[in-house]
Amino acid sequence: MWKPSMWIDTHCHLDAGEFAGETDAVRERARAAGVRHCVLPAVLPGNFDAVRELAHRHGDSYALGIHPLCTGAAGDGDLVLLDRALAAARDDPRLVAVGEIGLDYFVPDLDAARQEHFYREQLQLARRHGLPVLLHVRRSADQLLRELRRAPVGGIVHAFNGSQQQAREFVKLGFRLGFGGTVTYERALQIRRLARELPATALVLETDAPDIPPRWLYRTAQERAGGAPQGRNEPGELPAIGAALAALRGMEAEELAAVTSRNACAALPRLGALLRI
C-alpha cells in the first residue's frame, strides 16, 4: 500500500564511479530518508548489467539506453546491443524505460548529427519494445520535440530546463518533467517559476545523483580552492529537495510526494505495476 511519506527518485545513477564500494550504504541511507524507489538509467551498453543488477538488488527499476554524451564513442553495433538487451529483458518488470537518451547541444565538440541519429534510432527502439523514454535535454528541447512528433512515445524529460511553452508541448505529448536540486537555488529563477506554476500533474522528482547537488551541498570555486570538497549528491537528498519544491508551490511535502509518485507511475507504466500504486 502506498505511503504518502515515501518518495520516488526518477533519475539516479547509482552505478556511477562516485559511489563505488558504497552503493549499498548510499541506497540504505536513501531508504531511511523515505525514498521508496529509484529509477536507474544506463548511459551505454557497458553499464547495462550494472544498472540491472543494482535494481534487482535494491528493489528498484532501471532503463537501458545510450546517452548523447556517449555517442561519440558509440557505434551502430551498440544500437544492436541495446535492441537485444531490451528484447532479453522483455519480461523483466524492473525494466521500465529506454534511457537515458536525448540530445545535448551545450557541450562543445559533440557531433550533433551523430547524436540525432542515435536519438532517432532509440525512439524507434522504444516504440518497438513498447517502452517510454527518459530524455536528456540541454539546449535541445525543440529538436527533441520535433522527433517526438514523428515517433510519439511518452516518458520523462529529465532535469527539464526549457521554457514554459516547451514544457507545455512536452506535457501535450504525454511527458512528465523532472525537477531536482536546481529548484533549491534562489537564483534559478526560470526553473523555480516553472516548478511553481506548472500543473502538479506534470511534475516528477529526481536527484540525478551524484550530479546536480542541491544548494546545501554546493561549494563555490573559491571554497573548493580552499580545500572544501564539492558535495556529492545522493538519492537520500530527494525528500529535502521535494520539501523545497513543495514550499515553492505552497503544498505539504507529503502531498507532493504522493502526487509526484503517481505521476512517475503514469509516465512509466511498468513502474506503477511494480509498485502497485
Q: What is the pLDDT of residue 223?
A: 76
Check which CATH number belongs to the domain holding 262 and give it. 3.20.20.140
254, part of any domain:
yes
Q: Would the annotation count 56 as a binding residue?
A: no
168, part of any domain:
yes
Q: Would the annotation count 117 as a binding residue?
A: no
Domain that holds residue 50: 7-275
Q: What is the pLDDT of residue 277?
A: 65
Q: What is the pLDDT of residue 1?
A: 36
Q: What is the pLDDT of residue 4?
A: 43
160, part of any domain:
yes
Q: Cα 239 from chain centroid?
A: 16
Q: What is the pLDDT of residue 228?
A: 67
Write out the three cell numbers for 170: 512536452
45, part of any domain:
yes
* CA angle at 258 for the pair 255 and 259, rounded to the nearest 5°: 85
Which ranges of 89-181 would DSSP assign to H, the alpha helix?
Answer: 112-129, 141-150, 164-172
**CA-closest candidate to residue 58, choices 100, 98, 9, 91:** 9
16, part of any domain:
yes
Give the residue ranges of the chain where pLDDT is below 50. Answer: 1-4
CA distance 114 to 122: 12
Asked whether the beta carbons of 61 and 40 are under 8 A apart, the reply is yes
CA distance 121 to 9: 27
Burial (CB count <10 Å: 0-12, 13-18, 19+), residue 251: middle
124, part of any domain:
yes
Q: Tell whether pTM > 0.85.
A: yes
In the Cβ-directed half-sphere of 158, how many Cα atoms lie within 13 Å? Answer: 31
Q: How many domains does the chain have?
A: 1
Q: What is the pLDDT of residue 206?
A: 98
2, part of any domain:
no
Asked whether the beta carbons of 222 and 196 are under 8 A apart, the reply is no
* CA angle at 241 for the pair 200 and 19, rounded to the nearest 5°: 125
In the predicted model, what is the mean pLDDT of the chain?
Answer: 95
Q: Would the annotation count 53 as a binding residue?
A: no
Q: Would the annotation count 129 as a binding residue?
A: no
1, part of any domain:
no
What whole-number percentage of the chain has pLDDT above 90?
92
88 three-class SS = helix
